[in-house]
Structure 1
Amino acid sequence: MEIEDMGNHVEIETFIDQWPESANGCQAVFSRLYDFLKRLSGTRIEFHARPGITYSLRGVPQNDSHYPLFVMIDVIDDQPRWLSVCFYEQLVNDAEGRGDTVPGGLLGEDGLCFDVESEDEELIHYLMQLIAEACEAVGE
């Protein structure tokens, strides 16, 4: 894993630390998914902040993949904040049918997105499996 630059890492950590209190647990989910991304080899992490709209954490392949990213974890800046975790539809197999297909919704290509509105352990583990699957798919 490579974080685009150390300033990016500091920006992500500061964002997590300054997340407004809420009972839904989405801050903890975001933090866990970020930590999971940091452990994946062949991965770069980018962070795009658009305050008042979204904060986007992106898992980016370090190789010359056709795909500019393999996962996008958006924090929707609502009250309370919630997450939208999206993949290119062709990179993952949603065997449990939990995601929503979004035609052209991920950088112009078909996406598969999962809304996270609470700290659901089962969903977190499922998303981690899909993140690993997508990372492996772009590394091939």
Structure 2
Amino acid sequence: MSELAAFIDSWTDDPNGVKKAFVRLKTVLESLQGATVNFVPRPPASYSLRAEPHRGRPVITMVDVATLDGERFLSVCFYADTITDPEERGDLIPGGLLSQDGYCFDLDSGEADDVAYIEARIIEAANAFSLPEDSPCGEVDEED
């Protein structure tokens, strides 16, 4: 069993559906062509999924699982110049993503609308890197 699979399997306490959101976002990241998804555990601080493009910047997005007051939540971060935030749900973090300005979104539940909003940002960031995706959750831009 891979380290990521073992982490997911060991995540048994999930009253808010954060694990479900994590697994869904993992699936979206794995659908990106031209990117590799890596798991970077840093226990007990966080556990991170990183979608790394095969060219350009080091990451497209990072999905961190963190714990606050005993509750797990996701912090999903993007380079600020690769996404928009039309509903202003994220936080601009100057120098916050590998020393570059980033946008981070916190998910403390598996609420479908919130997860879909983050999925849309993942696809937007992938498009900024000119990466196609196969996921049924988004549309492929045929002009690229």
Which band: TM-score by shorter chain? 0.7 to 0.9
The residue identity in structure 1 corresponding to 2:25 is L
More helix by share: 1
Aligned to 2:142: none
Q: What is the root-mean-square deviation of aligned Cα atoms in Å? A: 1.3
Matches within 5 A, 1:1-16: 10-16=2-8
Matched, 1:27 2:19: yes
Q: CA deviation at 1:68?
A: 0.6
TM-score, with structure 1 as normaliser: 0.88
Tell whether the 8 Å contact from 1:51 to 1:77 is kept in structure 2 after alignment.
no
Q: Which residue pairs with 2:104 in the alignment?
A: 113
| 1:86-97 map, 5 Å | 86-97=77-88
Match of 1:61 among 47, 53, 56: 53
Q: 2:35 aligns with which of 37, 43, 46?
A: 43
2-structure distance, mates of 1:20, 1:89: 33
Which residue does the alignment assign to 2:118? 127
Count of residue correspondences: 130
- Residue identity opposite 2:61 in structure 1: V
Any unmatched runs of 5+ in structure 1? 1-6
Q: Using structure 2 for the length normalisation, give the TM-score.
A: 0.85
Q: Name the structure 2 match of 1:4.
A: none
Instruction: Give the whole-Å Cα distance in 2 for the aligned partners of 1:37 and 1:22.
Output: 21
Tell me the distance in 2 between the aligned counterparts of 1:110 and 1:120: 27
Paired letter, 1:57: L
How far is the alpha carbon of 1:98 from its aligned partner? Answer: 0.7
CA contact (8 A) 1:61 1:139 kept: no
Deviation, structure 1 residue 29 = 0.5
Shift of 1:95: 1.1
Partner of 1:77: 67
Aligned partner letter, 2:7:
F
**Cα shift at 1:96:** 1.2
Q: Distance in 1 between matches of 2:53 and 2:86?
A: 24
Q: Which runs of 5+ in 2 are unaligned?
A: 132-144
Structure 1 residue 40, shift from structure 2 partner:
1.4
AA partner of residue 27 (structure 1): K
